[in-house]
Amino acid sequence: MASLTKPTEEMQFIIATDVGSTTTKARFFHKKDGEWRFLVAGEAPTTVEAPYEDVTLGVQNAVREVEELTGHKLLAPEGGMIIPFDGEKGVDLYCTTSSAGGGLQMMVAGLIKSMTAESANRAALGAGAIVMDVIARDDGRQSYQKIQRIRSLRPDMILMAGGTDGGASQHVMEIAELIKAAEPKPRLGIAYELPIVYAGNKSLRPQIQDLMSSGFALELVDNIRPVLEQENTEPARRAVHELFMEHVMSHAPGFTKLMKWTEIDIMPTPAGEGMAMQLIANTYNKNVLGVGLGGATTNVYSIVDGRFVRSVSANLGMSYSVTNVMKEAGIENIMRWIPFNLDREEVASRLMNKMIRPTTIPQTLEDLIVEHSVAREALRLGLKHHRTIATRLKGIQIERTISDMFEQAVADSYVEMMNIDICAGTGGLLSHAPRRIQSMLILTDAWLTEGVTRMMQDSVFMMPHLGVVSTVYRDAAWNIFDKDCLVRLGTSIAAAGKGKFGEPVMELTIEMPNGEILEEKMNLGDLKLIPLGPDHEVNVHIKPANQYNVGAGLGEELKTTVQGGVAGLLLDARGRPLYFPDDDAQRKQLLLKWFKAVGLYDEKALEALV
Amino acid sequence: MVDVETEKKTNVKEEETEEAHAYTPGLKVKKSTTVQKLRRLPLLGEVFVNKGDTVKHDDIIAKTEISGDPEIVKIAMIIGLEPEDTPRYMTKQVGEFVEKGEQLAFYKALFGLIKKEVKSPISGTLESLSDVTGQAIVRGAPIPVDVDAYIPGTVINVMPREGAMIETHAAFIQGIFGIGGEVHGEVHVAVSGNDQVLDADMITSEHTGKVLIGGSRVTLDALKKAVELKVSAVVSGGIRHEDLTTFTGEEIGVAITGQEEVGITIIITEGFGNMNMSLRTFDLLKEFEGYSASVNGATQIRAGVLRPEIIIPHHLVEEDESEALSQGMVPGTPIRIIRQPYFGAIGKVHSLPVELQRLESESMVRVVNIELDSGEVVTVPRANVEIIEE
């Protein structure tokens, strides 16, 4: 990595790219009148595959589109960007993220599934990897089954943990011997030495070195669980990142060249996205739940009380993986979001056809509603998966109170919707939703927001770009993020609780910006959208019924200030979990009522479908 | 230099673009082309062919061995020893061959009153013994891996110890989705037209070993009967999702296929549902009825698009079409619509408006106007068409 050619405060132009599986996306930023703004986007197909086999061609094509659109010369004749900006041409910083070729695919191993293996899993995910499998002593499989699995996996890298420092040793070595015996073969070819990061019991390092020094590129780092009460993922995460650059990226066609072009390390796309989510959390000092809903994968990020966790659901997505959403969620769960009659086989066929032709887009409203239904399920499953990763440390004593005893157990995951202040989304389906309320309601329905939650989304896909920029120039990244990237959708006010259809859920008093006082009475099954622009902030007084909670406790009133957005204020009295009638006709009718209440789609076109 | 967005808008004066990229590359349907196949070993090994050799489809051209499956034997635990004491009780040494059931370790105590032994669970080589865990690893016999030529033709290049490139002159047809791996067989058209459903009663024992060509759809019963009669492959325009799921026994989640062991290779040329096979594809397959074909259902849509294929080698002298790389769309380009509401319709590009247009879904996208075969002109997103490569 070269050092920056200019101090950040003197920079005027930045170009960032994201080399995706199918498309390379360039985003061009400029500082004008002291303020950083997004200028223009350029896109081109990624050129990682034959016949090109050189990602820099795709990068050049995407950047050339920016050149054509701006007339600003960026590409150096000898390759790469013209750096620095000389008053006429060039940029002061070029950086990139990449998920080409399927991203970073890892296998992780640990001793106990819910302890060291889980910590290793979190570290790998945090480094931007897709975790193909988690091997542990107690994962329920026989040794030969684990060996068969490892032999069939072909990972890019392995992260192995196990034992506290000075703790278990024999069983940790058993796992190491099992990995060694399986002779895992890397995905990227015969001549490639498989990188393995050992982040387990440090007293075993000499034995691990003896065992793994041939056949693997071994890296020893500090223990991920030095003691049971502490999780230390950072050294492992850093090692994964370095090995990713050193081994994996350098084997991908054209990346060695691309690495020379960039001034800062190439980052896996999800790592960049994660940085952007952290930027939101840090700036607002709030708990954030974010998502990158892509074509192939769904990445969920949570920053709760300062703790950042990322999960990746490698096969939940809206194009390549759309049929896997159907498989995992069950087609009934997708169809429950459709308010008109559509044959089950028809829905399945449409999704299969989307999978085999992943770049097509919905032309009809009917098709759009089907895709939005799948999106809700992909997001729901993505969060469900995330909760299995964002867990409290297991294996340590937790102080329990009398009330915990009544609640039977302390919930495994600490990601509870009532504690989430901001939900943020990015990815093609959310960014391209024809009406902003669509992405707001999709996120609300999928994640079942509770209490008062601000909703945001990416304007045009540029969160990964800004994430990587933020690693060297936070202020510029935030400036662009704030002004051009982050669309404030509005605020959702949802009462958590169950009851009978039609009974009172909450009463709200809203002081509108024009001085008008709005009084709203919401009964179970009601949904309402109050227009309130992004520049407005209003005081709200919420009085929930006894069995409902809006953030202050069951039946407790809440006085707060809420922000508007391009969609507005969403008042949600549909219950948690969402109230759905068992009767199919009633379900469709209720869905239709909700869709119409918030102007989700064109009403006439919607009526025509019913 | 900089005020880009406004500049971009003012620069666009023409109402139509002259040429546009299609987002989805068309599937190849070529009557006469040069097909090259790289046949490669998964690990280094031995290559048996030389440049210039002529090969048949089933000739083995390269061979290697994958190390055998390892079996972990917990010697210390079975005998009840400390791991570091294990080496003393081994009756076989690292590197030695052991038969299944043969003794690996033997322990005797109390003047022979206590005897314990550990036998090898498999035949293989004692690969290692750990004094940390007390585990031994016995490695089974190496697994041979053969690579055949897959297509008949000429060896045009040899990669020492890795494999070879085979070239042939053939008709080449890509499908959109497939199941099952490489097979061979004689092309046989089982339907009367591209719009006919291939059902079980149309399959007979005469079709054993053949590549059966259907029309708009293949039924579940037809697939079952084809397997029963050992048909090599079935090619069809469409298939019902439920039929495929029932047939394979599981729902397809991600489109990475080719490894299924369902007794047959299936290739779908158009998509899911009832879909007439494109007339061009159907006619081409009909033209080569009776020829021998190499067929592979392997499909991978993400990270390196791989489509299923039908390769029919022949010696008919025709102009080689392989050089015609797919170009952009221009008025007159033949295209197929690949999504509702005109899914499957064929026509040609009428015009390519520059301005974004609002769809029924309210999305603002770039579109293409298409003149259908019926003469009707329809508007669809540019993302929803594929060029028919001619």
Whole-angstrom CA distances from B105 to B74, B82, B101, B250 are: 11, 14, 12, 45
Q: Do B339 and A356 touch (CB under 8 A)?
A: no
pLDDT at B390: 60
For residue A528, list its beta bridge partners: A571
Confidence of residue A302 (pLDDT cuts 50, 70, 90): very high
Give residue for tokens 């005081």.
Answer: A539
Option in B135, B255, B363 nearest A432 (CB): B363
- What's the pLDDT tens digit per position in A469-482? 999 999 999 999 99
pLDDT at A228: 86
CA angle B244, B249, B250 (to 5 degrees): 80
Which DSSP string corresponds to B217-246? EE-HHHHHHHHHTT-SEEEEEEE-HHHHHH
Whole-angstrom CA distances from A52 to A58, A81, B40, B304 are: 9, 20, 20, 12
Whole-angstrom CA distances from B152 to A6, B35, B58, B166 are: 60, 11, 8, 8
pLDDT, average across residues A6-27: 89
Whole-angstrom CA distances from A111 to A134, A162, A351 are: 10, 5, 40
Pairwise CA distance, residues A538 & A568, whole Å: 11
pLDDT at B112: 79
Structural tokens at position A444: 């609300």
The pTM score is 0.86
Ranges of beta strands (E only) in B240-344 are 265-272, 292-296, 309-313, 334-337
Q: Is A32 exposed, middle or buried (0-12, 13-18, 19+ CB in 10 A)?
A: exposed
Pairwise CA distance, residues B185 & A553, whole Å: 71
Quote the DSSP letter at residue B350: E
- What's the pLDDT tens digit per position in A556-575? 999 999 999 999 999 999 99
Chain A residues in contact with B361 by the CB 8 A cut-off are 362-365, 367-368, 434
Q: Do B273 and A349 touch (CB under 8 A)?
A: yes
| B192 and B278 Cβ atoms separated by less than 8 Å | no
pLDDT at A188: 65
Chain B residues in contact with A328 by the CB 8 A cut-off are 253
Structural tokens at position A493: 């006010």
Whole-angstrom CA distances from A600 to A19, A318, A422, A570, A605 are: 33, 20, 21, 12, 11
- What's the pLDDT tens digit per position in B249-295? 988 887 778 888 899 999 999 999 999 999 999 999 999 999 999 99
Distance from CA of B335 to the nearest CA of A (A): 14
Residue from B129, B135, B302, B342 whose CB has the most chain A CBs within 10 Å, to mutate = B302
| A370 and A350 Cβ atoms separated by less than 8 Å | yes
Average pLDDT, whole number, for chain A? 89
Which DSSP string corresponds to A145-164? HHHHHHHHH--SEEEE--S-
pLDDT at B142: 87
Option in B130, B343, B381 nearest A173 (CB): B130
Amino acid residing at A424: A
Option in A190, A365, A368 nearest B43 (CB): A190
| A476 and A10 Cβ atoms separated by less than 8 Å | no
Ranges of beta strands (E only) in B95-142 are 97-98, 103-109, 114-119, 124-129, 136-140
The H-or-E segment that residue A385 falls in is: helix A365-389
Quote the DSSP letter at residue A315: T
Pairwise CA distance, residues B381 & A465, whole Å: 27
Least confident of A70-74, A186-190, A551-555, B126-130: A186-190
pLDDT, average across residues A281-301: 92
Give residue for tokens 């090994």.
Answer: B45
Pairwise CA distance, residues B358 & B236, whole Å: 35
Chain B residues in contact with A147 by the CB 8 A cut-off are 69-70, 72
Residue from A352, A368, A602 whose CB has the most chain B CBs within 10 Å, to mutate = A352
Pairwise CA distance, residues A154 & A107, whole Å: 9
Residue from A349, A436, A484, A606 whose CB has the most chain B CBs within 10 Å, to mutate = A349
Confidence of residue A51 (pLDDT cuts 50, 70, 90): low
Structural tokens at position A198: 């050992």
Option in B67, B162, B383 nearest A359 (CB): B383
- What's the pLDDT tens digit per position in A23-38? 789 999 999 999 999 9
Sites in chain B below the pLDDT cut of 50: 1-14, 22, 322-326
- For B246-253, the CB contacts below 8 A with 24+ separation are B246/B220, B247/B220, B247/B223, B248/B179, B251/A323, B251/A326, B251/A327, B252/A323, B252/A327, B252/A352, B253/A315, B253/A321, B253/A323, B253/A324, B253/A327, B253/A328
Sign of dihedral through CA atoms A201, A205, A208, A212? Answer: positive
| A440 and A455 Cβ atoms separated by less than 8 Å | yes
Structural tokens at position B272: 């899911």
Option in B71, B135, B341 nearest A144 (CB): B71
- What's the pLDDT tens digit per position in A350-377? 999 999 888 789 999 999 999 999 999 9
Residue A58 has pLDDT above 60, yes or no: yes
Question: Is beta strand A526-530 parallel, antiparallel or unpaired with respect to A307-313?
Answer: unpaired
**CA-based nearest residue in chain A for residue B131:** A170
Chain B residues in contact with A353 by the CB 8 A cut-off are 271-273, 338-339, 343
Which DSSP string corresponds to A218-285? EEE---S-SSTT----HHHHHHHHHHIIIIIIHHSTTHHHHHHH-SS--EEHHHHHHHHHHHHHHHHT
Helices B220-228 and B241-248, interaxial angle, to 10°? 30
Structural tokens at position A236: 């492992």
